[in-house]
Structure 1
């Protein structure tokens, strides 16, 4: 899977791997480059992988359901390949070529199945704007080989007709919520109820992953902390769309859009490759 520095995060399933990844990418970006916070989510069922970044293996045996990061990654362009554990890079099962990572963003990259069951990579720009006192943010992302779904909290639909690879979000009262996933417009449960602890000042991102046909549907959760509102202050971000680092909002939005275009245009199944 060739991608941006981001997937080096895939390579960084642990702190040790993160250090290795950083060393492997040091020559790819200028010393003055702005950084982004990047996490990687592995949502392809039954497919452990080795991750190569710019031709070097940076993570071995990265497991489905794992979340790596966030890392502070310099803006730049990177090539990523995913292989079966122990296989050489020329046998990559998924690649992303020369994808650009903008500076000053908060991003999650998800390796998952599309609606038809084909492996792919989808980038999401995370909303890290502050939440109100006593609030928490819930984000649901449909990254499973499954039809449109409704997401219910306490049995009541809160996000309706969500399709792959879309997302929905809301700021809710902090606390524990029991959430399940049903086929859109029905009460047919696709993913059984899971208790979510929505802590104040956090964003909990829930990814629906796996395959309905393959009976591997499940969820992977990612939590972003530090979103408490400062009393009497102006909401600010931590590398996302609202920030106090001196990087203007319009530039971040443009950078995020560029990232989506770069990743979307560079992703391809490695079986189309003829070698390096």
Structure 2
């Protein structure tokens, strides 16, 4: 096995040897289960050790094909005992995906794959992708106090294209403007895609955000002066797609995750 230390957090991500780059898919893992450090096993080998909540690991290239994933409480000896979550995912060559361990709307552990949209972003713009993976009802995403993305339920995602710059972002219960998360300033670099994951539990007061940004998605021409002046419009991508467990990605990523929830709720 080949190991790589990731994200400065002492996380060890192990992958099998790979033949050629086109036979791999790029995968990130988001830990969204509050208060439960975990070890993540891929194909029976420990890939993430003492993976802390509200953190991201990756990206790492995994060989294309079926991958078996199991999540155990941290330091479980040799993956013995009952996993918190387990499932299988089919990683397609050339895929870019994020696997999120989180709570479903009822507060039970869940494992959900998302396809990462890394398509070109228009010059002077940025893409914002918000994923609802928290134990909470449907929410709206607010930008500058006004709804930007609405009716987002768990597990689902919505995206919008916005002028690059800094926006005051918040999450509120659907149909309201009273934030349950934020508001907080969110920087959207020109030519980037920022992925925001709402995690935790509303009832338990543990709602939080986990975010990562992918740069280098510039449209032509690149380097147009960016910024989001007061009142600048935001263009929401038509429709939002629930990332339900099943086949994802129109040939980009097929992910079939069969969850067998065993053990106590985190």
**Residue matched to 1:62:** 51
Gaps in structure 2 of 5+ consecutive residues? 223-248
Taking a change above 3 Å as real, the CA distance of residues 114 and 177 of structure 1, as seen in their structure-2 partners, is same
Separation in structure 1 between the aligned mates of residue 175 and residue 62 of structure 2, nearest angstrom: 41
Counterpart pick for 1:52 among 41, 44, 58: 41
C-alpha change, 1:270 and 1:189, in structure 2 (3 Å) is same
Structure 2 residue matching 1:201: 3-state secondary structure = coil
Structure-2 residue corresponding to 1:152:
142
Pair 1:97–1:206, CA change in 2 (3 A): closer
Residue 191 of structure 2 corresponds to residue 201 of structure 1: yes
The reply to whether residue 210 of structure 1 matches residue 200 of structure 2 is yes
Query: 5 Å matches for 1:4-43?
Result: 17=11, 21-22=14-15, 25-26=16-17, 34-43=23-32
Unaligned regions of 5+ residues in structure 1, if any? 1-7, 233-251
Secondary structure in 2 matching 1:96: strand
Q: Is the aligned partner of 1:267 residue 2:264?
A: no
Matches within 5 A, 1:95-174: 95-174=85-164
- Identify which range, 82-91 or 106-115, moves more after superposition: 82-91
Alpha-carbon shift at residue 56 of structure 1 (Å): 2.4
Shift of 1:186: 1.7
Partner-residue secondary structure (3-state), 2:250: helix
CA contact 2:111–2:259 (8 Å) conserved in 1: yes
TM-score, L = length of structure 1: 0.78
Structure 1 distance, partners of 2:21, 2:173, is 48
Q: Is the CA contact (8 Å cut-off) linking 1:77 and 1:101 kept in structure 2? A: yes
Quote the residue 2:251 is aligned against: 254
CA distance in 2, matches of 1:159, 1:140: 9
> Separation in 2 of the partners of 1:30 and 1:97?
25
TM-score (norm 2): 0.80
After superposing the two structures, state which structure 1 stretch, 194-203 or 94-103, moved more: 94-103
Provide the secondary structure at the position in 1 that maps to 2:14.
helix
Report how far residue 254 of structure 1 moved.
Answer: 2.5
What's the counterpart of residue 249 of structure 1? Answer: none
Note the aligned Cα RMSD (angstroms): 2.7
Say whether residues 1:186 and 2:179 are aligned partners: no
Q: Structure 2: how far apart are the matches of 1:14 and 1:73?
A: 20
CA 1:15 to 1:44, structure 2 compared with 1: closer, same or farther past 3 Å?
closer
Deviation of 1:269 after TM superposition, in Å, equals 1.5
Q: Cα–Cα, structure 1 residues 56 and 37, in superposed 2: closer, same or farther, change >3 Å?
A: closer
1:102-143 CA-to-partner distances (Å, cap 9, x unmatched) read 111110111100000011111110111101110000111110
Tell me by how many angstroms 1:96 deviates. Answer: 2.7
Specify whether residues 199 and 33 from structure 1 end up closer, same or farther in structure 2 by C-alpha distance, changes over 3 A only: closer
The 1:105–1:31 alpha-carbon spacing in structure 2 relative to 1, beyond 3 Å, is: closer
Higher strand share: 2
User: In the comparison of the two structures, how many residue pairs are matched?
Assistant: 237
